[in-house]
Structure 1
Amino acid sequence: MAIELYFPHDEIDARNPNFDLAADYLELTAFFSDQSRSFTKDLINATEIGADDDYDSVDKEMTDREEILSGAVRRIDGRCRALGTAYPFTLDANGDVLSYVGQDTSYGQAAYILSLVLSHLKAVSPILDGSLVYPTEAEIVELRKYFQYFATAALAAEVNGQAWSFGYPRLDKSNFHKKLTEIWGVFRDGILKTSIGAPDRPQDDQIDVFAARIHPDGLPGFLLAAGQVATGNNWRDKSLRGHLQNVFHSRWFGQQPVTPMICYHIIPFARPDDEFFDDCRVLGNVLHRLRVPYRVAEAQRLHAQGIAIEAFDQLTAAVAWVKAYASRGMAAA
């Protein structure tokens, strides 16, 4: 038995089916199932219920619905190949059964489930809306915090260096200027000085994560990344690229750093391959649901080596939430 989730006919059983959404539907069904599995053929059953009956022939109807199934299976297979052990599901050899295997939940797997849930809050998707397992408002606040911490770990692994969770509110309760001074005390590139007209009470000035791989000589010209973490439906409207190029350094530095910052956008969503090209064109480098969990798994090894990754100790709480959330689904089923 499984929790009853909403099946978005208008996006899946459509002229251009959203295969990522179909794959997500199967993953969420497996995650909340008391047997930790879903059947891919259920996509065909779901499309038949509530269908508009506007097909010219039965053959055309069956062909289109088989294409939905095969498209969703392709996306799931691609996720498995991209994420390896950080993907918390397995697909049987015939592509018939999707199983949730994250009961012992690694950090990477927790990052995936957290991203999956954030992708289906009601402002983004109707799949979880109205169900018995829809997160509370307080939980949603916590989930966004957890994703910020996962994003910090992921960007650390992306540059193979240390990282700071800079987004407001900060875990250490520091204000903007204190935190910026702390970080640039490590970088030692540029001299901080607030320019005339800059905001009096800045929170994070659009930057949620800094990550850097600093050379042993301590000199500038190192790998430095700045990331915007976006979990809302307007994520594509929050490009950081122009702000980094034209505003941030001139606003907060008297002597500007010579080390350029690489722009990152970090999101919990799965993206169609073709559209992803334009995402990167607009936003810079993008870490999404098929990248963040893999990098989080790598960050675990970095942290074990003594690399400083701020808020990494908070990931255990995120893992605990994912485990409890799965149990809630099983109890409600």
Structure 2
Amino acid sequence: MAVELYFPHDEIDTKKPNFDIAADYLELTALFSEEFRSFTKDLINAAEIGAEDDYNDVDEEMTDREEIVSGAVRRIDGRREALGGSYPFTLDENGDVLTYVGEEPSYGQAAYILSLILSHLKAVSPILYGSSVYPPDAEIIELRKYFQYFATAALAAEVNGPAWSFGHPRPDRTGFHAKLADVWSVLRDGTIGTAVGAPEKPKDDQVDVFAARIHRDGLPGCLLAAAQVATGKDWRDKSLRNHLENVFPARWFIRQPATRMICYHIIPFSRPDHEFADNCLEFGIILHRLRVPYRVAEAEGLHAQGLAIEAFDQLASAVDWVKAYATRGAAA
């Protein structure tokens, strides 16, 4: 492997391994290898190097290490099933070799790789940090913007309707009030007006994306989604649900919309199946790494048919970044 990645023993080589992290390690290893491949046995080799647990039973040790591999393979299979062609890796029939196949990535595949990288910035995970491929701070700012644009496309496909990138800084450089007026000139539900005591210089008031499936009659009562896009370790601290129901409409409308906004949380991370139901109770509908890419792929077709998706033209730049980034392993 051309790039030396950190192996998180405390999360993988334990009695309760984090199989998502193990799968991510294999994906990143494949992404940055000269031949775009990783071997599932790499998990066993990495676990053995620097292992701290003393096993009294060699058979028990091998069983635990093999369970790491089988668990990671199950997660990879699940990702492939969930994402189809938007998953930029393939696994051989025996589950031994993972290959990166996104040298010319589709929009969906680029969304996956971008999500994978954002999942392993230093505040979230140690796997990439300190390696030759860790993105510099200025680049990370751009990556977060790209993810916001992918999130806008994903939400457009989710509701099959136009979407606006509302989060600050906005791609059209408008201020908060101008952008809100722009969105509601299309939605035409409620009357915009600022409540007494509202923030004087709002940026986005926690809403990063709006999307709606508007009826042909243009009347209220449609699918109207509002999303918080969270890419940092603190994503769990940014639930939009209460704010969207009780604060945002009362703060920015003198006649509140009759249409209730559906709360979305869009993140680049993968989530354990056993925690997901509880996550939805807290955050609303969650689009994560196993949902955003295939919705982005759907959005590509919808945009080609004329659906208005703000900042969709920026996705080509994100794809170019992913293509260039994948070559850094060979360059190292």
Length-normalised TM-score, structure 2: 0.99
Confirm whether residue 254 of structure 1 aligns to residue 254 of structure 2: yes
The 8 Å contact of residues 2 and 29 in structure 1, kept in 2 or not, is answered as no
> Aligned equivalents of 2:153 and 2:82: distance in 1?
18
Partner of 1:319: 319
Q: Corresponding residue for 1:59?
A: 59
Aligned partner of 2:262: which letter?
Answer: I
- The question of 1:189 aligning with 2:201 is answered no
- Displacement of 1:327 in angstroms is 1.1
Residues 33-79 of structure 1 show CA distances to partners (whole Å, capped at 9, x for unaligned) of 11010000110011000111422310110000000000000000000
Following superposition of structure 1 onto structure 2, how do residues 10-159 of structure 1 map, counting pairs within 5 Å? 10-159=10-159
1:260-288 deviations in Å (ceiling 9; x for gaps)? 10000000000100011111010000000
Partner AA of 1:9 in structure 2: H
One-letter amino acid matched to 1:69: V
Structure 1 runs of 4+ aligned residues shifted over 4 Å read none
* 1:162 corresponds to: 162
- The one-letter code sitting in structure 2 at the alignment partner of 1:26 is L
C-alpha separation in 2, matches of 1:277 and 1:94: 32
Task: Please report how far the alpha carbon of residue 329 of structure 1 lies from its aligned counterpart in structure 2 after TM superposition.
Answer: 1.6
- Rounded Cα–Cα distance in structure 2 between residues aligned with 1:103 and 1:158: 27
Q: CA deviation at 1:328?
A: 1.5
Q: Where does residue 173 of structure 1 map in the other structure? A: 173
Structure 1 position 178, deviation (Å)? 0.2
Aligned-partner SS, 2:233: coil
Q: Distance in 2 between matches of 1:6 and 1:226?
A: 37
Within 2, Cα distance between the matches of 1:163 and 1:53? 51
> What is residue 280 of structure 1 aligned with on the other side?
280
Residue ranges of structure 1 left out of the alignment (5+ in a row): none
| Root mean square deviation, CA, Å | 0.6
Identity of aligned residues (%): 76
Q: SS of the counterpart of 1:320?
A: helix
Closer/same/farther in 2, CA of residues 53 and 260 from structure 1, 3 Å limit: closer
- Distance across 2 between alignment mates of 1:53 and 1:329: 31
Deviations 1:213-248 (A, max 9, x none): 000000000100000000000101100000011100
Unaligned runs of 5+ in 2: none
Residue 330 of structure 1 deviates from its aligned partner by 1.2
Amino acid at match of 2:90: T
